[in-house]
Structure 1
Amino acid sequence: MRRIAALAALLVLAACDGGGEPAARPAQPAPATPPAGTSIPADAGCVADVPVRVLPEWARVGFSDATPRMPYVLGSRGDIAAIIFGYPLHQPPLPDRNNKILWVSRVPLESGSPLVIEARLGGAGEVTRHEVTGGPGPSSIDLPAAGCWHLDLTWSGHTDSMRLTYRPSRSW
Protein backbone atom coordinates (compact mmCIF):
# COMPACT_ATOMS: atom_id res chain seq x y z
CA MET A 1 0.00 0.00 0.00
CA ARG A 2 2.86 2.39 0.84
CA ARG A 3 4.45 1.71 -2.56
CA ILE A 4 1.23 2.60 -4.37
CA ALA A 5 0.84 5.82 -2.36
CA ALA A 6 4.49 6.76 -2.98
CA LEU A 7 4.15 6.05 -6.70
CA ALA A 8 0.95 8.14 -6.89
CA ALA A 9 2.67 11.04 -5.10
CA LEU A 10 5.65 10.79 -7.44
CA LEU A 11 3.40 10.87 -10.50
CA VAL A 12 1.54 13.94 -9.20
CA LEU A 13 4.82 15.75 -8.56
CA ALA A 14 6.20 14.82 -11.98
CA ALA A 15 3.09 16.23 -13.67
CA CYS A 16 3.51 19.65 -12.05
CA ASP A 17 5.88 22.39 -13.13
CA GLY A 18 6.43 23.91 -9.71
CA GLY A 19 3.39 26.17 -9.96
CA GLY A 20 0.94 23.39 -9.29
CA GLU A 21 -0.24 23.36 -12.91
CA PRO A 22 0.20 20.48 -15.32
CA ALA A 23 3.34 20.86 -17.41
CA ALA A 24 3.96 19.71 -20.96
CA ARG A 25 6.33 16.79 -20.47
CA PRO A 26 7.34 13.91 -22.68
CA ALA A 27 6.05 10.44 -21.82
CA GLN A 28 9.55 9.24 -20.94
CA PRO A 29 10.88 9.66 -17.39
CA ALA A 30 13.09 12.69 -16.77
CA PRO A 31 16.77 11.83 -16.44
CA ALA A 32 18.71 12.58 -13.30
CA THR A 33 20.64 15.84 -13.34
CA PRO A 34 24.19 15.06 -14.47
CA PRO A 35 27.16 16.20 -12.42
CA ALA A 36 28.68 19.56 -13.32
CA GLY A 37 30.81 19.46 -16.43
CA THR A 38 29.11 16.44 -18.00
CA SER A 39 26.98 16.53 -21.11
CA ILE A 40 23.49 15.31 -21.85
CA PRO A 41 23.87 12.98 -24.84
CA ALA A 42 22.13 14.50 -27.85
CA ASP A 43 21.04 11.07 -29.10
CA ALA A 44 19.28 10.24 -25.82
CA GLY A 45 16.16 12.13 -26.89
CA CYS A 46 14.94 15.46 -25.69
CA VAL A 47 15.40 16.43 -22.10
CA ALA A 48 12.38 18.08 -20.49
CA ASP A 49 14.56 20.14 -18.15
CA VAL A 50 18.09 21.26 -19.02
CA PRO A 51 20.00 21.58 -15.75
CA VAL A 52 21.95 24.70 -14.84
CA ARG A 53 25.56 23.58 -14.51
CA VAL A 54 29.13 24.77 -14.96
CA LEU A 55 30.01 25.42 -18.59
CA PRO A 56 32.85 23.42 -20.17
CA GLU A 57 36.14 25.35 -20.03
CA TRP A 58 36.21 25.89 -23.79
CA ALA A 59 32.72 27.49 -23.69
CA ARG A 60 33.51 30.12 -21.01
CA VAL A 61 35.03 32.84 -23.22
CA GLY A 62 33.38 36.18 -22.46
CA PHE A 63 31.98 35.16 -19.07
CA SER A 64 33.33 37.15 -16.11
CA ASP A 65 32.77 34.36 -13.58
CA ALA A 66 35.57 31.76 -13.48
CA THR A 67 33.02 28.92 -13.32
CA PRO A 68 29.86 30.23 -15.01
CA ARG A 69 26.71 28.16 -14.54
CA MET A 70 24.12 28.13 -17.33
CA PRO A 71 21.66 25.70 -18.90
CA TYR A 72 23.35 24.21 -21.97
CA VAL A 73 23.24 21.24 -24.33
CA LEU A 74 26.29 19.78 -26.04
CA GLY A 75 26.25 18.41 -29.55
CA SER A 76 26.47 14.64 -29.90
CA ARG A 77 30.13 14.93 -30.96
CA GLY A 78 30.88 17.49 -28.23
CA ASP A 79 32.02 20.06 -30.81
CA ILE A 80 29.38 22.72 -30.10
CA ALA A 81 27.43 23.96 -27.11
CA ALA A 82 24.02 25.63 -27.13
CA ILE A 83 24.03 27.88 -24.06
CA ILE A 84 20.39 28.68 -23.51
CA PHE A 85 19.95 32.26 -22.26
CA GLY A 86 16.23 32.13 -23.05
CA TYR A 87 15.62 28.96 -21.06
CA PRO A 88 13.22 27.33 -21.32
CA LEU A 89 12.68 27.76 -25.05
CA HIS A 90 9.04 28.41 -26.01
CA GLN A 91 6.85 28.28 -29.08
CA PRO A 92 5.45 30.77 -29.71
CA PRO A 93 8.17 32.88 -28.08
CA LEU A 94 7.16 34.56 -24.85
CA PRO A 95 6.32 38.27 -25.19
CA ASP A 96 8.91 39.32 -22.59
CA ARG A 97 11.79 36.97 -23.53
CA ASN A 98 13.49 35.71 -26.70
CA ASN A 99 14.57 32.15 -27.44
CA LYS A 100 18.18 33.29 -27.14
CA ILE A 101 20.93 30.73 -27.65
CA LEU A 102 24.66 31.37 -27.58
CA TRP A 103 26.36 28.85 -29.87
CA VAL A 104 29.98 28.13 -28.89
CA SER A 105 32.29 25.99 -31.01
CA ARG A 106 34.96 23.80 -29.42
CA VAL A 107 36.67 23.35 -32.81
CA PRO A 108 38.44 26.04 -34.89
CA LEU A 109 36.32 28.52 -36.84
CA GLU A 110 36.74 29.95 -40.33
CA SER A 111 36.13 33.68 -40.42
CA GLY A 112 32.76 34.53 -41.96
CA SER A 113 31.52 30.93 -42.16
CA PRO A 114 27.86 30.80 -41.02
CA LEU A 115 26.31 28.31 -38.61
CA VAL A 116 23.61 26.49 -40.59
CA ILE A 117 20.87 24.85 -38.53
CA GLU A 118 18.55 22.31 -40.10
CA ALA A 119 15.82 21.38 -37.63
CA ARG A 120 13.26 18.58 -37.82
CA LEU A 121 10.41 18.17 -35.36
CA GLY A 122 10.74 14.71 -33.82
CA GLY A 123 13.79 14.10 -36.04
CA ALA A 124 11.73 13.49 -39.20
CA GLY A 125 9.65 15.38 -41.73
CA GLU A 126 10.00 18.87 -43.14
CA VAL A 127 13.25 20.76 -42.50
CA THR A 128 13.23 24.23 -40.97
CA ARG A 129 16.47 26.04 -41.85
CA HIS A 130 18.16 28.87 -39.95
CA GLU A 131 21.48 30.55 -40.60
CA VAL A 132 23.49 32.38 -37.96
CA THR A 133 25.61 34.91 -39.86
CA GLY A 134 29.28 34.90 -38.91
CA GLY A 135 29.21 31.39 -37.46
CA PRO A 136 28.51 30.22 -33.92
CA GLY A 137 27.55 33.11 -31.68
CA PRO A 138 24.41 34.69 -30.23
CA SER A 139 21.08 34.08 -31.94
CA SER A 140 17.35 33.89 -31.37
CA ILE A 141 16.08 30.63 -32.82
CA ASP A 142 12.32 30.39 -33.15
CA LEU A 143 11.01 27.08 -34.47
CA PRO A 144 7.48 26.68 -35.90
CA ALA A 145 6.04 24.29 -33.28
CA ALA A 146 6.51 23.14 -29.72
CA GLY A 147 8.13 19.74 -29.21
CA CYS A 148 11.40 17.87 -29.47
CA TRP A 149 13.55 19.21 -32.32
CA HIS A 150 16.52 17.40 -33.86
CA LEU A 151 19.10 19.94 -35.05
CA ASP A 152 21.80 19.20 -37.62
CA LEU A 153 24.46 21.88 -37.28
CA THR A 154 27.11 22.80 -39.88
CA TRP A 155 29.81 25.48 -39.50
CA SER A 156 33.41 26.05 -40.67
CA GLY A 157 33.58 22.56 -42.22
CA HIS A 158 32.34 20.90 -39.01
CA THR A 159 29.08 19.08 -38.24
CA ASP A 160 27.29 18.07 -35.07
CA SER A 161 23.74 17.45 -33.93
CA MET A 162 21.60 17.86 -30.83
CA ARG A 163 18.03 17.85 -29.62
CA LEU A 164 16.30 20.84 -28.07
CA THR A 165 12.86 21.05 -26.49
CA TYR A 166 10.55 23.97 -27.23
CA ARG A 167 7.71 24.15 -24.73
CA PRO A 168 4.24 25.31 -25.70
CA SER A 169 3.51 28.85 -24.49
CA ARG A 170 0.48 29.18 -22.32
CA SER A 171 -2.26 31.27 -23.84
CA TRP A 172 -3.49 32.59 -20.50
Structure 2
Amino acid sequence: MRRIAAAAALLLLAACDSAGPAAPAVVESPAPSATAASCAAGVPSRVLPEWARTGFSDPNPAMPYVLGDRGDIVAIVFGYPLRAPSQPDRSNKILWVSRVSQEPASPLVIDARLDGGGDPVTREVSGGAGPSIVDLPAAGCWHLQLTWSGHTDTLRLTYER
Protein backbone atom coordinates (compact mmCIF):
# COMPACT_ATOMS: atom_id res chain seq x y z
CA MET A 1 0.00 0.00 0.00
CA ARG A 2 2.87 2.37 0.80
CA ARG A 3 4.43 1.63 -2.60
CA ILE A 4 1.16 2.59 -4.31
CA ALA A 5 0.95 5.82 -2.29
CA ALA A 6 4.59 6.61 -3.10
CA ALA A 7 4.01 5.95 -6.80
CA ALA A 8 0.92 8.17 -6.76
CA ALA A 9 2.90 10.93 -5.07
CA LEU A 10 5.61 10.71 -7.73
CA LEU A 11 3.01 10.91 -10.49
CA LEU A 12 1.47 13.99 -8.87
CA LEU A 13 4.85 15.66 -8.51
CA ALA A 14 5.64 14.93 -12.17
CA ALA A 15 2.35 16.54 -13.12
CA CYS A 16 3.32 19.75 -11.33
CA ASP A 17 5.96 20.74 -13.91
CA SER A 18 5.90 23.97 -15.88
CA ALA A 19 3.32 22.84 -18.47
CA GLY A 20 1.46 26.12 -18.18
CA PRO A 21 0.45 28.85 -15.78
CA ALA A 22 -1.02 27.68 -12.53
CA ALA A 23 -4.60 28.60 -11.82
CA PRO A 24 -5.14 30.77 -8.75
CA ALA A 25 -6.38 28.96 -5.67
CA VAL A 26 -9.86 29.71 -4.40
CA VAL A 27 -12.10 28.33 -1.69
CA GLU A 28 -13.89 25.06 -2.45
CA SER A 29 -17.37 25.51 -3.89
CA PRO A 30 -20.11 22.90 -4.22
CA ALA A 31 -21.46 24.59 -7.37
CA PRO A 32 -23.22 22.36 -9.92
CA SER A 33 -20.52 23.16 -12.49
CA ALA A 34 -18.12 21.31 -10.19
CA THR A 35 -19.56 18.01 -11.35
CA ALA A 36 -19.39 16.28 -14.68
CA ALA A 37 -23.12 16.87 -15.22
CA SER A 38 -22.46 20.20 -16.92
CA CYS A 39 -20.03 21.33 -19.55
CA ALA A 40 -19.63 24.93 -18.47
CA ALA A 41 -16.92 26.94 -20.18
CA GLY A 42 -15.32 27.71 -16.82
CA VAL A 43 -13.92 25.09 -14.48
CA PRO A 44 -13.37 26.80 -11.14
CA SER A 45 -10.35 26.14 -8.96
CA ARG A 46 -11.60 24.35 -5.89
CA VAL A 47 -10.12 22.28 -3.10
CA LEU A 48 -9.55 18.77 -4.41
CA PRO A 49 -11.46 15.84 -2.92
CA GLU A 50 -9.51 14.43 0.01
CA TRP A 51 -8.77 11.14 -1.83
CA ALA A 52 -7.21 13.10 -4.76
CA ARG A 53 -4.68 15.14 -2.73
CA THR A 54 -1.79 12.65 -2.50
CA GLY A 55 1.50 14.26 -3.48
CA PHE A 56 0.44 17.88 -3.06
CA SER A 57 2.42 19.85 -0.48
CA ASP A 58 -0.59 22.02 0.45
CA PRO A 59 -3.00 20.03 2.67
CA ASN A 60 -5.96 21.71 0.88
CA PRO A 61 -4.79 22.12 -2.72
CA ALA A 62 -7.12 24.08 -5.01
CA MET A 63 -7.02 23.25 -8.72
CA PRO A 64 -9.47 23.32 -11.63
CA TYR A 65 -10.97 19.83 -11.78
CA VAL A 66 -13.97 17.85 -12.99
CA LEU A 67 -15.30 14.92 -10.99
CA GLY A 68 -16.66 11.87 -12.81
CA ASP A 69 -20.43 11.25 -12.72
CA ARG A 70 -19.93 8.20 -10.46
CA GLY A 71 -17.29 9.96 -8.36
CA ASP A 72 -14.66 7.31 -9.14
CA ILE A 73 -12.21 9.54 -11.00
CA VAL A 74 -11.22 13.18 -11.13
CA ALA A 75 -9.65 15.08 -14.02
CA ILE A 76 -7.34 17.73 -12.53
CA VAL A 77 -6.81 20.22 -15.34
CA PHE A 78 -3.22 21.49 -15.16
CA GLY A 79 -3.50 22.82 -18.73
CA TYR A 80 -6.50 25.04 -18.01
CA PRO A 81 -8.19 26.12 -20.15
CA LEU A 82 -8.00 23.14 -22.47
CA ARG A 83 -7.55 24.22 -26.11
CA ALA A 84 -8.40 22.77 -29.52
CA PRO A 85 -6.27 22.93 -31.45
CA SER A 86 -3.56 22.64 -28.81
CA GLN A 87 -1.29 25.65 -28.35
CA PRO A 88 2.43 25.46 -29.20
CA ASP A 89 3.49 27.12 -25.92
CA ARG A 90 1.39 25.03 -23.51
CA SER A 91 -0.17 21.60 -23.25
CA ASN A 92 -3.60 20.17 -22.47
CA LYS A 93 -2.28 18.49 -19.36
CA ILE A 94 -4.71 16.49 -17.22
CA LEU A 95 -3.88 14.50 -14.11
CA TRP A 96 -6.31 11.59 -13.73
CA VAL A 97 -6.74 10.41 -10.14
CA SER A 98 -8.77 7.28 -9.44
CA ARG A 99 -10.66 6.88 -6.18
CA VAL A 100 -10.98 3.12 -6.79
CA SER A 101 -8.23 0.52 -6.98
CA GLN A 102 -6.15 0.19 -10.13
CA GLU A 103 -4.31 -2.71 -11.68
CA PRO A 104 -0.64 -1.94 -12.37
CA ALA A 105 0.05 -1.09 -16.04
CA SER A 106 -3.68 -1.14 -16.91
CA PRO A 107 -4.37 1.81 -19.26
CA LEU A 108 -7.01 4.49 -18.93
CA VAL A 109 -9.03 4.41 -22.16
CA ILE A 110 -10.88 7.59 -23.09
CA ASP A 111 -13.70 7.45 -25.65
CA ALA A 112 -14.69 11.07 -26.33
CA ARG A 113 -17.63 12.38 -28.36
CA LEU A 114 -18.10 16.02 -29.24
CA ASP A 115 -21.44 17.21 -27.79
CA GLY A 116 -22.40 13.57 -27.30
CA GLY A 117 -22.77 12.81 -31.01
CA GLY A 118 -20.67 11.66 -33.91
CA ASP A 119 -17.89 9.14 -34.01
CA PRO A 120 -15.83 8.70 -30.86
CA VAL A 121 -12.23 9.79 -30.61
CA THR A 122 -10.16 7.37 -28.54
CA ARG A 123 -7.14 8.27 -26.42
CA GLU A 124 -5.18 5.97 -24.13
CA VAL A 125 -3.18 6.89 -21.03
CA SER A 126 -0.57 4.22 -20.35
CA GLY A 127 -0.34 3.04 -16.78
CA GLY A 128 -3.92 4.03 -15.98
CA ALA A 129 -4.80 7.14 -14.05
CA GLY A 130 -1.92 9.59 -13.95
CA PRO A 131 -0.65 12.60 -15.87
CA SER A 132 -1.39 12.86 -19.58
CA ILE A 133 -1.72 15.25 -22.47
CA VAL A 134 -5.20 14.91 -23.97
CA ASP A 135 -5.55 16.73 -27.28
CA LEU A 136 -8.95 16.55 -28.97
CA PRO A 137 -9.63 17.62 -32.57
CA ALA A 138 -12.20 20.40 -32.10
CA ALA A 139 -13.42 23.00 -29.65
CA GLY A 140 -16.65 22.30 -27.78
CA CYS A 141 -18.12 20.15 -25.05
CA TRP A 142 -16.62 16.66 -25.07
CA HIS A 143 -18.40 13.76 -23.36
CA LEU A 144 -15.80 11.29 -22.09
CA GLN A 145 -16.40 7.61 -21.31
CA LEU A 146 -13.46 6.51 -19.14
CA THR A 147 -12.46 2.86 -18.63
CA TRP A 148 -9.59 1.66 -16.41
CA SER A 149 -8.82 -1.46 -14.35
CA GLY A 150 -12.36 -2.82 -14.75
CA HIS A 151 -13.96 0.52 -13.75
CA THR A 152 -15.94 3.04 -15.80
CA ASP A 153 -17.02 6.61 -15.27
CA THR A 154 -18.08 9.54 -17.44
CA LEU A 155 -17.41 13.26 -17.40
CA ARG A 156 -17.50 16.28 -19.64
CA LEU A 157 -14.68 18.65 -20.54
CA THR A 158 -14.79 21.87 -22.53
CA TYR A 159 -12.07 22.60 -25.07
CA GLU A 160 -11.86 26.25 -26.14
CA ARG A 161 -10.49 27.67 -29.40
Q: TM-score scaled by structure 1?
A: 0.75
**Which residue of 2 is the match for residue 57 of structure 1?**
50
Q: CA RMSD in A?
A: 1.2
Superposed structure 1 runs of 4+ greater than 2 Å apart: 37-41
* Partner residue of 1:98 out of 91, 102, 105: 91
* Partner residue of 1:41 out of 35, 44, 52: 35
Q: Which runs of no fewer than 5 residues in structure 1 stay unpaired?
A: 1-34
Between the aligned partners of 1:57 and 1:37, the Cα distance in structure 2 is: 14
**Which residue of 1 is the match for residue 116 of structure 2?**
123
**Bigger relative CO (Cα 8 Å, ≥ 6 apart):** 2
Query: Displacement of 1:37 after TM fit?
Result: 6.0
Post-superposition Cα deviations, 1:72-130, rounded to whole Å, max 9, x if no partner, equal 00000000000000000001111211000000000011111100000000011111000
**Is this contact kept in 2: 1:37–1:55, CA < 8 A?**
no
**Is this contact kept in 2: 1:37–1:56, CA < 8 A?**
no
In our comparison, the structure showing a higher alpha carbon Rg is 1
Between the aligned partners of 1:41 and 1:130, the Cα distance in structure 2 is: 22
Q: TM-score scaled by structure 2?
A: 0.80
How many equivalent pairs are there? 133
For residues 10-21 of structure 1, what are the structure 2 equivalents within 5 Å?
none
Q: Which runs of no fewer than 5 residues in structure 2 stay unpaired?
A: 1-26
SS in structure 2 opposite 1:42? Answer: coil
